[in-house]
Amino acid sequence: MAELSTKQEISWLDDVDSNGVIINPNHELYGKSIAGKELEMPAAAGSTVGADRLVNLAVHGKAPKKIILERSDPITMWGAILGRIDLEIKGKSKKPVDISMLEKLGIDSEIADLLARAGELLGANEFIPADYVQISGVSYKTIMETGLELRRYFASKYRFRAKNVTINPAGMDMEEWQMQHIPEEFAKKQKEIIELYIKMGAQPTITCTPYLISYSQPFTDAFLSESSAVAFENSMLAVRTNREAGLSTLLYAIAGYGPRYGLHLQENRNPRIEIKLDTELKTLSDYGLLGYKMGELSQGKIPYITGMHGMPSVEDVKQLGAAGAASGSVDLFHIEGVTPEARYKMIDLGNIEERIEVGRKDLDEIKEKLNTGNDNEIDLVAFGCPHASINEIKEIAGLLKGKRIKNGKELWISTSRAVKEIAEKVGLASIIEEAGGHIVADTCMVVSPIEEIGFKTTATNSGKAAKYLPRFSKQKVIFDTTEEIIKKITE
Binding site for ligand F3S (CB under 6 A): 168-169, 208, 228, 322, 385-387, 414, 444, 446-447, 464-465
Helix extents (H) in 73-139: 74-83, 99-104, 109-122
Query: CB of 166: closest distance to ligand F3S in angstroms?
Result: 13
Min separation Cβ 142 and ligand F3S, Å: 9
Q: Which of 112, 46, 35 is nearest to 76 (CA)?
A: 46
Q: Minimum distance from CB of 247 to ligand F3S (Å)?
A: 17
Of residues 2 and 390, the one with the C-beta less far from ligand F3S: 390
Coil, strand, or helix at residue 265?
Answer: coil
The half-sphere exposure of 159 on its side-chain side, counting CA atoms within 13 A, is 4
**Which of 168/299 has CB closer to ligand F3S?**
168
Question: C-beta of 391: minimal distance to ligand F3S in Å?
Answer: 16
- Secondary structure (3-state) at 123: coil
As measured in angstroms, the least distance from the Cβ of 491 to ligand F3S is: 28
- Closest approach, Cβ 164 to ligand F3S, in A, equals 19
Closer Cβ to ligand F3S, 62 or 318, answer by number? 318
The upper half-sphere exposure of residue 290, i.e. CA atoms within 13 Å in the direction of its Cβ, equals 33
Judging by beta carbons within 10 Å of its beta carbon (0-12, 13-18, 19+), is residue 174 exposed, middle or buried?
middle
Q: Which is nearer to ligand F3S, 72 or 414 (CB)?
A: 414
Smaller CB separation from ligand F3S, 58 or 330: 330
String of DSSP letters for 286-306: HHHHHHHHHHHHHTTPPEEEE
**What does the alpha-carbon distance between residue 143 and residue 51 come to, in Å, rounded to a whole number?**
9
Asked whether 334 and 305 are in contact (CB, 8 A), the reply is: yes
Nearest distance in Å: CB 385, ligand F3S: 3
Question: Distance between CA atoms of 339 and 114, rounded to whole angstroms?
Answer: 35
Which residue, 50 or 386, is less far from ligand F3S as judged by CB? Answer: 386
Single-letter residue type at 302: I
Give yes or no for a contact between 6 and 27, defined as CB atoms under 8 angstroms apart: yes
Residue 79 or 384 with smaller CB distance to ligand F3S: 384
- Burial code of 312-344, b = ≥16 C-beta within 10 A, e = fewer? beebbbbbbbbbbbbbbbbbbbbbbebbebbee
Cβ proximity to ligand F3S: between 62 and 243 the closer is 243
Half-sphere exposure of 286 (CA within 13 A, CB side): 16
Whose Cβ is closer to ligand F3S: residue 228's or residue 279's? 228
Nearest approach, Cβ of residue 135 and ligand F3S (Å):
12
Q: How many CB atoms lie within 10 A of CB 275?
A: 26
Write b or e for each residue in 2-18: b if 16 or more Cβ atoms lie within 10 A of its Cβ, otherwise e.
eebebebbbbbbbbbee
The nearer residue to ligand F3S, 10 or 447, going by C-beta atoms, is: 447
**Min separation Cβ 459 and ligand F3S, Å:** 15
Q: Nearest distance from residue 64's CB to ligand F3S, in Å?
A: 26
CB of 325 to ligand F3S, least distance (A): 9
Question: b/e for 67-105, b at 16 or more Cβ within 10 A?
Answer: bbbbebbbbbbbbbbbbebebbbeeeeeeebebeebeee
Contact 474, 450 (CB under 8 A): no
Nearer to ligand F3S, 291 or 386 (CB): 386
